Structures are given as structure tokens and as C-alpha cells.
């Protein structure tokens, strides 16, 4: 699997050059009021590009765009804290940060993540791809090991697992497989080769 390679120093220099002699707008310098970022001098909702810097060493953490004080358009988070999925909900995060220096790329739509968001290990290898709708997971989520092998595939609706689910051992051997109905197991499941039965699943081809 091809690795993503991005030089943060080049990106920051580009932002400075585009921004002119005044340099980039730092997110930390904007005022946050009622969920919108305001220009500190005018008090008006900020529109334009911005960068977020780490307070400890002033390295680039995030570059993004804002429209009327809200995150809007493409963004890159160079220090994303990403967790393994620990349950049927997106908010059921595992307790372990997968790796330091992971990166996430996607888009905001009026302050909410929207569309496909891609997450990468520190070496640029794809870790996760998932679609967002109004800031929530919607559609197929896939996760991978550094060697490109798939570890998880699951269907989400409104941040809940709904539909098919599969997780994998090494060499793509299936570890668990089954379906969820709004975060609850349904139908027939196979766990480590053992068969388990739950309440019947709805028809996932229609609204359920």
C-alpha cells in the first residue's frame, strides 16, 4: 500500500508566503465565542486560512480554513489522537492511543466533518477510512495494519454500528463476523469460530 508523504515545514512555509508579510493566522489568536472564531481586532467572524501550533515546541499541528467563524473546507491534523474502536458506537473508544504522530485528512462543512476522512500512521500508511455526515460516522468504516492488511470493516449509521461487521486476524483471516441493529448484535454471529444467534436483523436494504 502506497504511503502518504507530507512535509509539514513546506506546508507552513507555503501558508506564510500566501499570507504575506503578516504570516499565517494562528487559531489560538482568534476569539472563540458561541462556537465561532472571531477576529481579535474587529470582533467579526473570521474567514480565511489558519494554522494550529503546538504550545510546547511551536510545531504545526493543524492547517484548515474557516468561513464565517466556522471550520469549512479541507483540513489536515498532523497530531491526531486516534483510538481503536472498542464497541458498537463511535464514541466507544479504546483506551490506547494507536501511535503518536498520526495524521488525519478530510473536510469540514460549516463546522462539522463531512465526506470521506482518511487517517494515517506516522509513516504515512493508511490506518482508517470512514465517511462523515454532519459530523457523525455514516457508511463503511475500514481499518488497516501498517502492512496493508485489513483489521476491521463495519457499517455505521448516525455514529452507531448498523449493518455488516467483520474483524480480522493476520493474513485477513476472519476473527468476528455478523451484523448490528442500531448498536446491538443481531442475526447470526461467528466469534473465534463459534456460532452465536441473536434476535433477527432488520432488512438493511430499507430504512430500519
Please write the tens of the pLDDT for every residue from 24-80. Answer: 699 999 999 999 999 999 999 999 999 999 988 888 999 999 999 999 999 999 988
Q: Indicate the CATH number of 89-98+116-208 among 2.60.40, 2.20.110, 1.10.3470, 1.20.120.
A: 2.20.110
Return the ∠ at Cα 140 (arms to 175 and 189), rounded to 5°: 35
Residue 204 confidence (pLDDT): 87
Domain definitions of the chain by residue range? 89-98+116-208
Q: Cell 489536515 belongs to which residue?
A: 76
Ranges under pLDDT 50 in the chain: 10-11, 13-21
Q: Are 189 and 204 in contact (CB under 8 A)?
A: no
pTM confidence score: 0.83
Amino acid at each position: 500500500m502506497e504511503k502518504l508523504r507530507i512535509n509539514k515545514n513546506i506546508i507552513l512555509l507555503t501558508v506564510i508566503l500566501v499570507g504575506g508579510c503578516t504570516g499565517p493566522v494562528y487559531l489560538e489568536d482568534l476569539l472563540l465565542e458561541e462556537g465561532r472564531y472571531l477576529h481579535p481586532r474587529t470582533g467579526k467572524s473570521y474567514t480565511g486560512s489558519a494554522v494550529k501550533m503546538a504550545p510546547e515546541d511551536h510545531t504545526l499541528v493543524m492547517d484548515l480554513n474557516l468561513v464565517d467563524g466556522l471550520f469549512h473546507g479541507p483540513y489536515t491534523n498532523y497530531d491526531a489522537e486516534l483510538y481503536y474502536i472498542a464497541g458498537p458506537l463511535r464514541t466507544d473508544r479504546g483506551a490506547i492511543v494507536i501511535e503518536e504522530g498520526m495524521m488525519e485528512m478530510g473536510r469540514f462543512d460549516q463546522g462539522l466533518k463531512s465526506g470521506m476522512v482518511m487517517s494515517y500512521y506516522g509513516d504515512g500508511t493508511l490506518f482508517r477510512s470512514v465517511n462523515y455526515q454532519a459530523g457523525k460516522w455514516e457508511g463503511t468504516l475500514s481499518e488497516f495494519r501498517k502492512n496493508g492488511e485489513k483489521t476491521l470493516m463495519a457499517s455505521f449509521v448516525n455514529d452507531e454500528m448498523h449493518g455488516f461487521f467483520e474483524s480480522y486476524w493476520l493474513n485477513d483471516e476472519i476473527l468476528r463476523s455478523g451484523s448490528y441493529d442500531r448498536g446491538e448484535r443481531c442475526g447470526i454471529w461467528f466469534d473465534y469460530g463459534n456460532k452465536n444467534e441473536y434476535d433477527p436483523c432488520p432488512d438493511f436494504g430499507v430504512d430500519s
